[in-house]
């Protein structure tokens, strides 16, 4: 048991001693990456589309089918803006083009293409309704978003892509240390 704990401690020490400076985003405003600011909108709209599809299937009320169309349209428009910012970072930040970055990008492109197909299917109907195929598309899209969202988090938090400046992990205060207190101490010195 003691040997196992020593190995874990040694691993964590090595990890903290590495230089963990981030690589800033190229699509940024005032140093703040644009892509993470935009992605919550299409995600929320696509999850809302699934929720309103389920509501339609449960109630049969055409209101929910119309809500799905509007939510899906909003997801496609806001997703286009998020995709442009993500593509700029993917094309210009070399460290983003790792396996997780490729899966994140291709998964999101797939989700958008499936959403376009769903939108075309919905717009081609004369009466607002949600079919089993459209509900299935919504389910698959939200499932893809779970995977690509996780990988997007990995790109930021594990690989530090889009991080501004950054400090060595050894310079970061321990958990529980109030940051305002640390700043005040440094300002006084």
Condensed to tens digits (0 to 9), the pLDDT of residues 158-187 reads: 888 887 665 444 454 555 555 444 444 444
Residue 155 within a domain: yes
Which residues lie below 8 Å from residue 102, measured CB to CB, with a gap of 6+? none
Residue 177 within a domain: no
Residue 182 within a domain: no
Question: What domain range is 112 assigned to?
Answer: 33-165
Residue 104 within a domain: yes
Residue 11 within a domain: no
Residue 25 vs residues 6, 18, 48, 90: alpha-carbon distances, Å: 37, 21, 29, 9
Digit-coded pLDDT (tens) for 88-121: 999 998 888 899 999 999 999 999 999 999 999 9
Q: Domain count of the chain? A: 1
């Amino acid at each position: 048991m003691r040997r196992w704990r020593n190995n874990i401690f040694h691993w964590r020490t090595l990890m903290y001693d590495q230089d963990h400076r981030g690589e800033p985003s190229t699509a940024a405003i005032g140093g703040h990456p644009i892509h993470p600011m935009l992605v919550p909108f299409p995600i929320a709209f696509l999850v809302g589309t699934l929720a309103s599809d389920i509501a339609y299937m449960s109630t049969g009320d055409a209101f929910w089918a119309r809500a799905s169309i509007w939510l899906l349209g909003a997801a496609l428009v806001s997703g286009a803006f998020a995709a442009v910012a993500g593509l700029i970072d993917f094309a210009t930040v070399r460290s983003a083009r790792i396996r997780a970055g490729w899966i994140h990008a291709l998964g999101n492109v797939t989700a958008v293409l499936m959403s376009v197909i769903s939108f075309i299917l919905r717009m081609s109907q004369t009466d607002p309704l949600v079919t089993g195929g459209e509900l299935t598309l919504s389910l698959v899209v939200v499932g893809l978003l779970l995977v690509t969202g996780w990988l997007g988090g990995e790109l930021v938090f594990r690989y530090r892509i889009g991080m501004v400046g950054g400090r060595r992990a050894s310079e970061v205060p321990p958990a529980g240390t109030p940051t305002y207190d640390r700043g005040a101490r440094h300002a006084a010195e």
